[in-house]
């Protein structure tokens, strides 16, 4: 199967990230909320670039949907099938970038991987954790309870 322009573009983005040659056009902008515990600041440039790529790809999916939504005609089944395939590919790649980003966060902040904890990324690349249902944050921080 021959590579498409999208395939080549995605691979190029990944190569640029690994070589430190890709600019980050997106950064987290949510502020730390009450009840969240700051673990530290993410400094991994690959993780930051992966976050940016994930956000760009999400925008691409949204733009694709907006562009295509009104133009689909049921009688053009082949065109619909092709566009559905493109959409599936975009979503898979966005999920790939997302999963790689979170894996890099977990590598830098192992406490974020604990059972019963949710993790978030905030403005300034601040990594936070917050209580998931069933565990107290005090137990998480002191090593007691179900996580100890």
* 94-148 pLDDT, tens digit each: 999 999 999 999 999 999 998 888 999 999 999 999 987 655 555 555 444 433 2
Query: φ and ψ at 127, to 5 degrees?
Result: -100, 130
Q: How far apart are CA 54 and CA 10, in angstroms?
A: 11
Segments forming the whole domain that contains residue 26: 5-147
Q: How far apart are CA 102 and CA 81, in angstroms?
A: 32
Query: φ and ψ at 129, to 5 degrees?
Result: -125, 155
- Residue carrying the six token digits 């936070």: 128
The total number of structural domains that make up the chain = 1
Note the pLDDT of residue 45.
94
Note the pLDDT of residue 145.
41
Q: How far apart are CA 104 and CA 43, in angstroms?
A: 10
Alpha helices in the chain (DSSP H): 5-18, 45-69, 77-108, 137-142
pLDDT band at 6 (very low <50, low <70, confident <90, very high): low
Half-sphere exposure of 127 (CA within 13 A, CB side): 25
CB 35 within 8 A of CB 126: no
Full-prediction pTM beyond 0.85? no
Q: What is the mean pLDDT of the chain?
A: 82
Structure tokens at 91: 């979503």
Give mean pLDDT, residues 53-60: 88
pLDDT band at 90 (very low <50, low <70, confident <90, very high): confident
Q: What's the pLDDT tens digit per position in 39-49?
A: 999 999 999 99
């Amino acid at each position: 199967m021959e590579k498409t322009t999208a395939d080549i573009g995605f691979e190029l983005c990944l190569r640029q990230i690994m070589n430190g040659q890709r600019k980050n056009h997106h950064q987290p902008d949510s502020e730390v909320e009450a009840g969240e515990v700051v673990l530290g600041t993410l400094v991994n440039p690959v993780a930051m670039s992966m976050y940016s790529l994930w956000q760009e790809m999400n925008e691409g999916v949204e733009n694709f949907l907006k562009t295509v939504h009104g133009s689909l005609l049921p009688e053009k089944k082949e065109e619909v099938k092709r566009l559905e395939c493109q959409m599936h590919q975009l979503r898979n790649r966005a999920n790939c970038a997302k999963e790689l980003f979170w894996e890099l966060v977990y590598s830098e902040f192992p406490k974020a991987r604990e059972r019963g904890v949710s993790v978030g990324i905030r403005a300034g690349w601040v990594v936070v954790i917050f209580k998931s249902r069933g565990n107290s944050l005090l137990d998480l921080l002191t090593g007691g309870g179900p996580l100890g």
